[in-house]
Amino acid sequence: MRPLKRLTSREASRRQALAEGQVVPDPVRCIQCGICSYNCPADIDVRQFAWRGEPVTDHRCILCGECVARCPRGTLRIQAGVPVRAAL
């Protein structure tokens, strides 16, 4: 695959994940440290979603990935293909 086509394909996949994705926790890995919530620029209590094992459905979530990047245990991930903000 040509480099430019590969780059645009990767960018399209990234945009699709952001458009149709959610932050999803693995509750078994969460130790309730609160680093995710502390670093959320939208001031969402991500820790509560992780503790309950539920995707972050808060309408303020902009999928910036700060909570995912800052989690020391790798509890959070952005998953594509799940209904976004179903509980508006």
Domain boundaries, the chain: 3-79
3-79: CATH topology: Alpha-Beta Plaits (3.30.70)
Tokens of 61: 């979530």
From the centroid of its chain, how far is CA 57? 10
**For residue 76, what pLDDT is reported?**
96
Task: Report residue 82 as tokens.
Answer: 């799940």
Provide the pLDDT for residue 11. Answer: 61
- pLDDT at position 80: 84
Q: How far apart are CA 36 and CA 45, in angstroms?
A: 8
pLDDT at 85: 47
pLDDT of 74 reads 94
From first to last of its 88 residues, the chain has per-residue pLDDT tens of 566 566 566 566 666 655 678 999 998 999 999 999 999 999 999 999 999 999 999 999 999 999 999 999 999 999 986 554 444 4
Greatest pairwise CA separation for the chain in angstroms: 45
Average pLDDT of the chain, as a whole number: 83
Q: What is the pLDDT of residue 5?
A: 61
Sign of CA dihedral 31, 24, 54, 44: positive
Q: Is 34 helix (H, G, I), strand (E, B) or coil?
A: coil
